[in-house]
Amino acid sequence: MKALYKAGGHPGFELVDRPEPEAGWGEVKIRVITTGICGTDLHIESWDAWAQGMITAPLIPGHEFYGEVVALGEGIRDVRVGDRVSGEGHIVCGICRNCRAGRRQMCIRTSSVGVQRDGAFAEFVVVPETNVWVHDSTITPELGAVSAPSGNAVHPALRFPLVGEDVLIPGAGPTGLMAAAAARHAGARKIAVTDVSAPRLALARGVGADLAIDVGRTRIADAQRELGMKEGFDIGMEMSGHATALPEMIENMNHGGRIAMLGLPSGPIAVDWGRVVTHMLTLKGIYGREMFETWYAMSAMLESNRTLREAVASVVTDCLPAAEWQQGFATARDGGSGKVVLDWTTF
What was the pLDDT predicted at 225? 86
Any residues with CB less than 8 A from the CB of 260 and at least 6 apart, and which? Answer: 155, 156, 157, 159, 160, 235, 236, 237, 238, 284, 286
**258-261 long-range CB contacts below 8 Å, 24 or more apart?**
258/159, 258/160, 258/234, 258/282, 258/284, 259/235, 259/283, 259/284, 260/155, 260/156, 260/157, 260/159, 260/160, 260/235, 260/236, 260/284, 260/286, 261/156, 261/285, 261/286
What was the pLDDT predicted at 264? 80
Contact call for residues 36 and 65 (beta carbons, < 8 A): yes
What was the pLDDT predicted at 320? 97
Peptide bond into 170 cis (omega under 30): no
User: How far apart are the C-alpha atoms of 168 and 258, rounded to whole Å?
Assistant: 11
Residue 20 has pLDDT above 90, yes or no: yes
What was the pLDDT predicted at 223? 85
Confidence of residue 343 (pLDDT cuts 50, 70, 90): very high
Residue 314 has pLDDT above 80, yes or no: yes
Determine whether 40 is an active site residue.
yes
Task: Tell me where in the chain the CATH 3.40.50.720 domain(s) lie.
Answer: 153-285
What are the CA-CA distances from residue 268 to residues 242, 244, 286 (Å)? 10, 11, 17
For the whole prediction, is pTM greater than 0.85?
yes
Reported as a single tens digit per residue, the pLDDT across 191-244 is 999 999 999 999 999 999 999 999 989 889 888 888 888 889 999 999 988 888
Reported as a single tens digit per residue, the pLDDT across 39-93 is 889 999 999 888 898 888 999 999 999 999 999 999 999 999 999 999 999 999 9
Residue 319 has pLDDT above 80, yes or no: yes
Residue 250 has pLDDT above 90, yes or no: yes
Confidence of residue 287 (pLDDT cuts 50, 70, 90): confident
Report the CATH number of the 2-146+315-343 domain.
3.90.180.10
What was the pLDDT predicted at 334? 87
Share of the chain above pLDDT 70, in %: 100
Question: Which is nearest to 261 in space by CA: 245, 285, 280, 241?
Answer: 285
Task: Tell me where in the chain the CATH 3.90.180.10 domain(s) lie.
Answer: 2-146+315-343
Reported as a single tens digit per residue, the pLDDT across 91-124 is 999 999 999 999 998 999 999 999 999 999 999 9
User: How far apart are the C-alpha atoms of 132 and 294, rounded to whole Å?
Assistant: 14
Considering 40, 130, 175, 331, which one is annotated as catalytic? 40
What was the pLDDT predicted at 201? 95
What was the pLDDT predicted at 131? 96
Class (C level, CATH) for 153-285: alpha beta
Strands 190-195, 211-214: pairing kind: parallel
